[in-house]
Amino acid sequence: MKVVIVGGVAGGASAAARIRRLDENAQIVMFDRSGFVSYANCGLPYYVGGVITNPRELTLQTPESFWSRFRVDVRVRHEVTAIDTEKKTVTACELETGRIYEENYDKLILSPGAKPVCPEAFDLTGDRIFTLRTVEDTHSLHSFVRTKKPASAIIAGGGYIGLEIAENLLQLGVSVSIIQKPKHLLAPLDYDMACLVHSLFMKKGARLLLEKSVSSIKQDADTVRVKTDDGLELTADMVVLAIGVTPDTKLAKDAGLALGAKNSILVNERMETSVPDIYAVGDAVTVNHFVTGLSTLLPLAGPANKQGRIAADNVCGGSSVYHGSQGSSVIKLFDLTVATTGINETAAKAANIDYERIVLSPLSHASYYPGGTAMTMKVLYERQTQKLLGAQIIGSDGVDKRIDVLATAIRAQLKATELCELDLAYAPPYSSAKDPVNMAGFMIENLVTGKVAQFHHDEIDRLPRDGSVTLLDTRTPGEFSKGHADGFFNIPLDDLRERLSELPKDKPVYVMCQSGLRSYVACRILSQNGYRCYNFSGGYRFYSLVRQDQTKK
């Protein structure tokens, strides 16, 4: 059996190694148009910033090491330009010589990946305008930063790559402006959670230009000029274009393979395309979202590696299936970790899911053990079934651990209330006896069983200020004096039982505290004394961050 693989990064390289482990006699040929194979895409921004100092560390395998260990014939700087599905051949161009030749196959695996979105109207010919996809792109950007020492940069796009580049440039002392078309950075987050990221980048000196899109880019000598759709003109020493990626599927389209969402390659659960003996994996393929069941694109390294393994199994006569992606991701931004899994509110609304959300701010480990830091967690679940839908966490220590627990719970199809029962490891340096994931479960259980009702930050402005409801803040007087929501008055939690007479029983009470815990306790006191009570989700700390971000627009 002869297997040809087009694309040698996550999906393609994973497939090649797996095929060899399953079939020692298979002939495997892998093409990649770049000069590298099996390299760490996700590490590229950190080489630009000097966090990774040795460029060899970005390359997980080389053509020589692939041949030595796996006997895979890796041909870098070879571009596959056509597929003949009838003859079962591919046409390849050796880029260094221009030689064109055909290679036959019994099985073909396509792993072309995704390419940066580069609108045709943009003039990207200058040597100060960059995209970041390959190791060569990284070397070019790294060399420019080191030799030209730019003082200013514009990052077009506020996704993972854009923010990682922005972080690394800011740490090198470069003044950075980030232009983002949506109203918040990092699309997998909801706006309220993204406000924590906005605050972080502004503290680090970045200029955020949200709800703006780039209309033109042009280099003039040593200056790059950028215009936005609302007429703003900016200049900088360099521009990094990171406004998104699109599936690189021209080869598949020209060969007549069926395409799916956003022109991605349509595959079944076995990673088979519409043409027999041709498989496709990675960022260029349509996947089913594990939570919603809807077709989508999720260009992430983890799914690509799994899909490569599954395609290899089936090429070798197996029966492996891919059950869908759920978008689990994590990113380091300065001293914060931002992690997500499943869907956010935007996706839940688009899928017409009747959902509920909770926000909590637990410590990363036991409060009495030194060094604990607060994290902000948001968990979504379906209201009627308690199906877990997604989670977002921002903090320092322990974020990655909790998002992985929640990702596993989603994959195992646990109910949100079953988070209470998870038996998670505990020691004071690592967690609390009630782990933050357990705490999320307790909060959801309280809502589901009717022990408490809640309200959210986007509902505060709609609450009447005419005296028909009671707006209560249960923090200490000192906390209250430093800032509070409009219309709320202060009774500290520890004084509440003695001051119940100040609260009319015929009016609903909306209660707030710093994080949501004291207000929950207050609601339990009030409810058992005949009051109708609502607890504020997330607390004043969360509310003030969102509110502060809104007032800066």
Q: Could you list the active site residues? A: 42
Q: How far does the chain reach from its first CA to its final CA, in angstroms?
A: 61
How many whole angstroms separate alpha carbon 169 and alpha carbon 334?
11
Rounded (10°) angle between helices 436-448 and 399-411: 50
Return the SS3 of 247. Answer: strand
C-alpha to C-alpha distances, 308 to 116, 303, 447, nearest whole angstrom: 22, 9, 42
How many whole angstroms separate alpha carbon 133 and alpha carbon 242?
10
Of the candidates 411, 372, 379, the one whose C-alpha atom is nearest the C-alpha of residue 393 is 379
How many whole angstroms separate alpha carbon 343 and alpha carbon 357?
12
How many whole angstroms separate alpha carbon 340 and alpha carbon 394?
9
How many whole angstroms separate alpha carbon 216 and alpha carbon 225?
8
Q: How, if at all, do strands 152-156 and 376-382 pair?
A: unpaired
Which residue is it, tokens 């000097």? 50
Kindly state the tokens that stand for 512.
């707030």
3-class DSSP string for 80-94: EEEEECCCCEEEEEE
